[in-house]
Amino acid sequence: MVSHKQIFYLILLCFLNAPCAALAVSPSPTPLLLSGAGLLPLAGHLEILCDPKGALAFGDVLKGDNGARFKPIPGFLNRGYTSETTWVRFSLRRSPQSDGRFFLRLSPLYLDHVAAWVQTGPDSASLSSYTGYQFGDHHPATKRPMRHSHFVIPMNLGDEGEHLVYIQLRTTSSHSLMGWVYPPESFFSWSQQRSLLYGGFIGVTLFISFINIIYALRLKEMMYCYYAFFVLAICGTEAGAEGLLGLVWPSGAHLLSDYLVGGGAALQYSTFCLFIIRLFDTGATMPKAHRFFQFIFLFGIATFLAIPLGQYGRMASHLMQAGLVMVCFVTWLGFRLYRRGVPAGALFLASFLASNIGAVVAILRLLGLLPANTVTTYSFQIGALFHMVFMTLALTERVREAEENAVAASREAAQKAVVLAGEMTRELVENQKELEEALEAKLQALEGQRRFVEMVSHEYRNPLAILRTNVDLVEMKACGPHCAVYPNLWKMKRALARLVEVVDISLGCEPLGETAPAPDLQEVGLPGFMERIVEETMGLWGDRRVDLECSGIGGACVMADPALLKTAFVNLIDNAFKYSAPDEPVSIRVVAEKGEAAVAIRDNGRGIAEEELESVFENYYRGMGSGDTTGAGIGLYLVRRIVGQHGGRVSLARGDAGGAVATVRLPLSQ
């Protein structure tokens, strides 16, 4: 098992090894002797001249005292992020054994503007002795002197004297420059090896990205999708940084280079933060760390958006400084997983160590804190490759664990389902018994209510029959219609007849919740029917007035049970009388419209509250203003049921000038 000290020494060794390798080269600006035996790095042979305002032209550099201002530097050029222009100078001398044919390769490839002048004539101070070349990812690859993904200058050094080379460097990205001189055989061999290595690197990244997308779709977990995007961002950055796009689209690659390299690097931070947030569930377990990762995510997006504004260099510098803190914190999180014994915790830790060591070295190089050399240049690619392999193994282990947990959960759920089904079966049996007992109790109650209704009906009818018989006897013994008591006897007979109807209909209309018998429908002429109802009502309310208006209805008929429909209208008219002043008339308006007969009964009483217009149709409901009037809250309930049996509808509304309007709508007979 790896101890804490061993991990610390491993990290320290990786940090110290890169700068030591770079500083081992002598900074002496002696000419580089080209023997033709193999590649030769320019490290230790470079001199630089800083041009803060970018005002110097190549002619200015050759003339005057500017040549004396060049200062030697150890290793390769690395100034970090700066907006200044840098001039680099070095000299070449070929040995007698070489034939003078060489290739000069410059990198990195994300530099915006690189201009090179190679001395081909005898006079080093004359412009005519130099051949100029233009490079940079802001320039079309078609204008390069050689079709290659890198900045390559083919040189033919005819004599054995010194040949000066000047390079002007302007960029918004990290300000560094490395170079090598190759004989033809070594250059072609290096190109083939590099193509195989980077082709393999791109293939691995695409394959790992594809695997994680499959995991995301299979498990419906966005964490794998975020990691796939992170790997794709690495792939895009490396494809741009190594000039692969220039081989595919030489005439237009320069238009996308900044977005592919700089934008890809910025999106690496954002997508990696999303992955870490989901992997460690920082929102629930580490609120402060969660906000930090959210900040890095937004900072990465802002850096990407700063590319077209020309502010990428300034934003990227701060983003990488924050990235140093992030990679250290992520390494600590991976170490916590390892210490807790989480499955695949060692793989997570190894993955984070590999990527973060490489990322720290690369960031320090880009910031100008470490020298630019082969180790620091390719540290991120090497670390990223190991990171992706270890992380894929760790996520695969996580998938396997998730599937095992799902199988275990499925078994447990099946067992719980069996237990739950048994419990539910027992509950259903118990509920069935309770329902049967409740149903039996309800049937007994309904039977008792039925007997009670029959008893009430019988007891009502007997006294009513006696009263009716005696009124008939009094009428027979009276002196005829002209007798003084005859009008009163007539009213008593009408009232008794109305009472008999009310008892028969009220006790027979859907009693005790049972289905009411179908009404005895027959064709009823509505105008005459309403006149008879008004006449009968006036007999009961002799001191009240009813204004009946049949407007444009002619001989309209409805299919209705006269007794039931009469009960409904009499109830509405009775309510209108009860809730209006004694001297106020009740108006009834009958119209025909859209295949319906509408009967509107209007009173001039106190009216009904807006919120009670529907509630008053409920059984036994009495409105707030009905305390001083008689009633049981049944009348309007019966009205709605009777109208509904006739295929119509009834509604209440507040009158424009006060009072209430009850409207009954019935379909006209065809």
* Residues in a beta bridge with 181: 40, 104
Least confident of 40-54, 57-71, 547-561: 547-561
CA distance 334 to 346: 8
pLDDT band at 24 (very low <50, low <70, confident <90, very high): very low
Q: How many CA atoms lie within 13 A of 342 on its CB side?
A: 20
pLDDT band at 234 (very low <50, low <70, confident <90, very high): very high
CA distance 208 to 391: 10
Would you say 230 and 300 are in contact if contact means Cβ atoms under 8 Å apart? no
DSSP 8-state code for residue 142: G
Would you say 535 and 544 are in contact if contact means Cβ atoms under 8 Å apart? no
Answer whether residue 174 shows pLDDT above 70: yes
Q: Which two tokens stand for residue 329?
A: 């914190």
CA distance 182 to 75: 18
% of the chain residues with pLDDT over 90: 29
In sequence order, which residues have a C-beta less than 8 Å from that of residue 423 and are 6 or more positions away? none
Would you say 313 and 81 are in contact if contact means Cβ atoms under 8 Å apart? yes
First CA to last CA across the chain, in angstroms? 97
Mean pLDDT, range 382-405, rounded to an integer? 86
Least confident of 97-111, 143-157, 499-513: 499-513
**Comparing C-alpha atoms, which of 603, 604, 621 is closest to residue 612?**
621
pLDDT at 514: 46
Q: Which two tokens stand for residue 356?
A: 């973060």
Would you say 22 and 375 are in contact if contact means Cβ atoms under 8 Å apart? yes
CA max distance for the chain: 163
CA distance 22 to 13: 15
pLDDT band at 47 (very low <50, low <70, confident <90, very high): very high
pLDDT at 530: 86
CA distance 81 to 314: 7
Mean pLDDT, range 151-179, rounded to an integer? 90
pLDDT at 132: 95
Q: Which of 158-162, 654-658, 659-663 has the highest mean pLDDT?
A: 659-663
Mean pLDDT, range 256-280, rounded to an integer? 91
pLDDT at 418: 86
pLDDT at 429: 84
Single-letter amino acid code for the residue at 86: T
CA distance 85 to 101: 30
CA distance 250 to 248: 6
Does 451 or 161 have the greater pLDDT score? 161
DSSP 8-state code for residue 304: H
3-state secondary structure of 81: strand
3-state secondary structure of 45: coil
Mean pLDDT, range 283-305, rounded to an integer? 94
pLDDT at 485: 64
Does 566 or 48 have the greater pLDDT score? 48
CA distance 509 to 548: 28
**Angle, to 10 degrees, between the axis of helix 312-339 and the axis of helix 345-366?**
160
Would you say 147 and 190 are in contact if contact means Cβ atoms under 8 Å apart? no
**Comparing C-alpha atoms, which of 38, 41, 33 is closest to residue 75?**
41
Burial environment of residue 292 by CB neighbours within 10 A (0 to 12, 13 to 18, 19 or more): middle
Sign of CA dihedral 52, 57, 58, 63: negative
* Residues in a beta bridge with 588: 548, 601
For the stretch 640-643, contacts whose Cβ atoms lie closer than 8 Å and that sit 24 or more positions apart, written own/partner, are: 641/509, 641/510, 641/516, 642/509, 642/564, 642/565, 642/567, 642/568, 643/568
CA distance 386 to 413: 40
CA distance 262 to 307: 8
Mean pLDDT of the chain: 82
Q: Evaluate the omega torsion of the peptide bond into residue 29 and state whether it is cis, within 30 degrees of 0.
A: no
pLDDT at 573: 85
For the stretch 289-295, contacts whose Cβ atoms lie closer than 8 Å and that sit 24 or more positions apart, written own/partner, are: 289/329, 292/326, 292/329, 293/326, 295/322
CA distance 389 to 407: 27
Answer whether residue 344 shows pLDDT above 90: no
pLDDT at 286: 93
Mean pLDDT, range 459-488, rounded to an integer? 62
pLDDT at 272: 95
CA distance 649 to 654: 17
Answer whether residue 317 shows pLDDT above 50: yes
Answer whether residue 318 shows pLDDT above 80: yes
Burial environment of residue 470 by CB neighbours within 10 A (0 to 12, 13 to 18, 19 or more): exposed
CA distance 509 to 505: 6
**Rg value, the chain, Cα:** 51
In sequence order, which residues have a C-beta less than 8 Å from that of residue 154 and are 6 or more positions away? 101, 102, 103, 145, 146
**Comparing C-alpha atoms, which of 516, 644, 506 is closest to residue 563?**
506
Single-letter amino acid code for the residue at 108: P
Q: What is the pTM of this model?
A: 0.54
Single-letter amino acid code for the residue at 563: A
Answer whether residue 217 shows pLDDT above 80: yes
* Helix runs in 550-651, H state only: 562-578, 635-645
491-532: pLDDT as tens digits: 676 666 666 666 665 555 444 444 455 778 888 888 888 888
pLDDT band at 427 (very low <50, low <70, confident <90, very high): confident
CA distance 6 to 10: 6
Answer whether residue 77 shows pLDDT above 80: yes
pLDDT at 625: 60
Answer whether residue 52 shows pLDDT above 90: yes
